[in-house]
Structure 1
Amino acid sequence: MTAGLTMPTAGFVLKTSGLASCTVTAAPTAAATVNGTWTNGAPSTLKFTDASVPVTVVGGFGCPTSATSSKFNATYKVTDTTAPASAITVTG
């Protein structure tokens, strides 16, 4: 099964400091949705592999200011906070 995750406009901002002081903004001009894989289980998981999100990068020396997208990988464990022992199952 697939599931989508939507990042709101400018929903993630990463700032680095030191040799390269950069600011990376994901979904800079509009919300961005990426698709992942849903797996039922205890807990269920939502996994993203090489999900591409638009970005803008500003900064000086060492910052990849020409980058227009960035890929990320993540696995989220999804549980019911009101009943942690209950499994969340999606059928389609």
Structure 2
Amino acid sequence: MELSKKVAYLKGLMEGLKIDDSTNEGKILTIMADILDEMSATVEDIAEEVDETVELVDTLDEDLGEIEDLIYGDDDDDDCCCDDDCCCDDDD
């Protein structure tokens, strides 16, 4: 169950139990439920932004991979100028 639905369920329980918000305990419970409601909305907003950011990073990663392929080419050693491994394995 989503966080906001759980908070709504909690508020429904409080109404069903007829929590009296004129008492000190009722005031505290009502304020706590309101805080939980605001927190759940904030958490859901952050989760949505994180999802969007992950999608953007994935897209950028794919684009960067394509650019790397264009600049550096494949990692194959087919373009080697010699038959032995003496000079082609050096990364200097």
**TM-score tier (shorter):** under 0.3
Bigger strand fraction: 1
Bigger helix fraction: 2
Larger radius of gyration: 2
Q: Name the TM-score, length of structure 1 as normaliser.
A: 0.19
Q: Name the TM-score, length of structure 2 as normaliser.
A: 0.19
